């Protein structure tokens, strides 16, 4: 019985890259004396259907020879081939078993105020490019609606509201549903009164120059987010209600207010000059949305921006839900929203930084 040191060298072709592998090992074989070395070149079909091209050097002790075996004895040659191929396949199998396992994809579920849609979609693209193992799934809607969904068990990892009240409910519950220390303010916004610009424009829209002008009889329909509920369903609607109250005109215009399920539906109603309310189409002359909503439309104009002190501050707080199973990813995305890249995207859509 002789001791032989083997070194198997092979490469694995892939679609784009050929990788080279070399694994030294020792095998004890019976080998006639007088034969100092053997070199075998060949191919083998390995795992996953890949063709492995290999060369095997077999040498006794530490004396290496590059002499290629001569096909003098067919039976002996076949025996050497079988031994070499079997050894090579064992090493190849060991190599695959010990490969580091591929990282599984991580899904992050973000529930966010619908007014953040455009900015967050742009941020998602950048974040996923930088973190290819992460998939971000957004659910956009009115903050109050999202709160209800989360309370009913929706699989949210992060919640970004358009007002503090909705996040307060989760944070102040017992036990708190927000991870301690995860809450932060992401952006700020402003409330504006808008009117349609595409013809035909109603007399009410055409003559509107201020929020107080909503009391004009020519204005017959005002779209506003649904401000009912505690906390309110649509924060933008509650901010608008506060502005109208602070100006002393809420009671005068209340009969003209038509509530929409979220702020983007208000924008659409003003663009289309109509809103379906309980199956009845109502003419819309104006509506209240955020600066950022008006910015993305070429079918409306800003009539007036509400004063910063006429309503509660328009702040978008973020919180990580305690139910998350991907806490580190949630923390990473939360931190990314404060990065320079994310801030620039928010500013491009007219959000204010906190």
Exposure string over 330-352, b if 16+ CB within 10 A, otherwise e: bbbbbeebeeeebbebbeebbbe
Average pLDDT rounded to a whole number, residues 97-119: 81
Single residue among 51, 70, 97 that ends a domain in this structure: 97
62, two tokens? 């530490």
Instruction: Indicate the pLDDT class of residue 87, thresholds 50, 70 and 90.
Output: low
Q: What is the pLDDT of residue 214?
A: 98
Total number of domains constituting the chain: 3
Q: What is the pLDDT of residue 109?
A: 98
Question: Which tops the pLDDT comparison, 164 or 58?
Answer: 164
Instruction: Indicate the pLDDT class of residue 145, thresholds 50, 70 and 90.
Output: very high
Question: In sequence order, what DSSP letters do the residues of 44-86 get, joined into one string?
Answer: EE-GGGPEEEEEEEEEETT----PPPPTT-HHHHHHHHHHHHH
Instruction: Tell me whether residue 354 is in a domain.
Output: no
pLDDT tens by residue, 29-71: 444 444 444 443 344 333 333 333 344 444 443 443 434 333 3
Single residue among 46, 63, 97 that ends a domain in this structure: 97
Asked whether residue 153 falls in the same domain as residue 182, the answer is yes
Q: What is the pLDDT of residue 82?
A: 53
Instruction: Indicate the pLDDT class of residue 299, thresholds 50, 70 and 90.
Output: very high
- The average confidence (pLDDT) of the chain is 82
33, two tokens? 């004396």
Question: Which tops the pLDDT comparison, 251 or 54?
Answer: 251
Instruction: Indicate the pLDDT class of residue 86, thresholds 50, 70 and 90.
Output: low
Query: What domain range includes position 91?
Result: 2-97
Q: How much of the chain exceeds pLDDT 90, in percent?
A: 70
Q: What is the pLDDT of residue 84?
A: 53
CATH number of the domain at 157, please. 3.40.190.10
Q: How much of the chain exceeds pLDDT 70, in percent?
A: 71
Asked whether residue 250 falls in the same domain as residue 297, the answer is yes
Q: What is the pLDDT of residue 75?
A: 53
207: which DSSP letter? T
Asked whether residue 268 falls in the same domain as residue 201, the answer is yes
Asked whether residue 64 falls in the same domain as residue 145, the answer is no
Average pLDDT rounded to a whole number, residues 201-216: 97
Question: Which tops the pLDDT comparison, 146 or 13?
Answer: 146
Asked whether residue 120 falls in the same domain as residue 165, the answer is yes
Of the candidate ranges 99-108, 164-173, 279-288, 340-349, the one whose mean pLDDT is the lowest: 99-108
Of the candidate ranges 57-61, 287-291, 346-350, the one whose mean pLDDT is the lowest: 57-61
Q: What is the pLDDT of residue 81?
A: 53
Half-sphere exposure at residue 331, Cβ-oriented, CA atoms within 13 angstroms: 9
Average pLDDT rounded to a whole number, residues 136-151: 98
Instruction: Tell me whether residue 157 is in a domain.
Output: yes
Of the candidate ranges 61-75, 149-163, 282-296, the one whose mean pLDDT is the lowest: 61-75
79, two tokens? 């025996």
- Is the pLDDT assigned to residue 228 strictly greater than 60? yes
CA–CA dist 160, 111 (Å, integer): 6
Which helix H or strand E contains 257, and what residues bound it?
strand 257-260
Q: What is the pLDDT of residue 79?
A: 58
- In the beta sheet, which residues pair with residue 276? 281
C-alpha 214, offset from chain centre: 40
Q: What is the pLDDT of residue 22?
A: 42
Q: What is the pLDDT of residue 28?
A: 40
Asked whether residue 163 falls in the same domain as residue 210, the answer is no
Question: In sequence order, what DSSP letters do the residues of 331-350 get, joined into one string?
Answer: HHHHHHTTSHHHHHHHHHTT
Asked whether residue 251 falls in the same domain as residue 156, the answer is no
Asked whether residue 203 falls in the same domain as residue 296, the answer is yes
Asked whether residue 180 falls in the same domain as residue 318, the answer is yes
């Amino acid at each position: 019985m002789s001791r032989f040191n083997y070194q198997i060298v092979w490469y694995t072709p892939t679609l784009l890259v050929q990788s080279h592998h070399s694994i030294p090992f020792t095998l004890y074989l019976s080998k006639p004396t007088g034969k100092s070395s053997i070199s075998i070149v060949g191919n083998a079909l390995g795992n996953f259907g890949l063709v492995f091209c290999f060369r095997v050097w077999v040498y006794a002790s530490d004396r290496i020879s590059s002499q290629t075996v001569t096909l003098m004895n067919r039976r002996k040659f076949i025996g050497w081939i079988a031994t070499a191929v079997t050894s090579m396949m064992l090493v190849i199998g060991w190599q695959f078993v010990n490969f580091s396992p591929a990282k599984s994809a991580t899904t992050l579920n973000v529930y966010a105020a619908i007014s953040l849609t455009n900015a967050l979609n742009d941020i998602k693209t950048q974040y996923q490019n930088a973190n290819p193992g992460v998939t971000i799934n957004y659910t956009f809607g009115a903050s109050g609606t999202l709160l209800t969904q989360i309370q009913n068990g929706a699989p949210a990892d992060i919640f970004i509201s358009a007002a503090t009240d909705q996040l307060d409910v989760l944070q102040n519950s017992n036990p708190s549903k927000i991870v301690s220390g995860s809450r932060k303010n992401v952006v700020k916004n402003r409330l504006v009164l808008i009117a349609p610009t595409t013809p035909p424009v109603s007399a009410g829209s055409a003559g509107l120059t201020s929020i107080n002008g909503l009391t004009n009889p020519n204005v017959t329909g005002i779209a506003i987010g649904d401000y009912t509920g505690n906390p309110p369903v649509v924060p933008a609607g509650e901010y608008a209600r506060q502005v109208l109250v602070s100006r002393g005109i809420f009671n005068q215009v209340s009969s003209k207010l038509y509530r929409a399920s979220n702020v983007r539906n208000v924008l659409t109603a003003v663009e289309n000059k109509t809103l379906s309310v309980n199956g009845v189409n109502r003419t819309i002359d104006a509506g209240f949305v955020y600066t950022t909503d008006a910015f993305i439309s070429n079918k409306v104009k800003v009539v007036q921006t509400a004063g910063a002190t006429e309503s509660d501050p328009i702040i978008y707080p973020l919180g990580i839900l305690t139910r998350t199973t991907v806490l580190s990813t949630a923390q990473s995305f939360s931190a990314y929203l404060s990065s320079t890249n994310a801030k620039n995207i928010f500013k491009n859509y007219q959000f204010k930084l906190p």
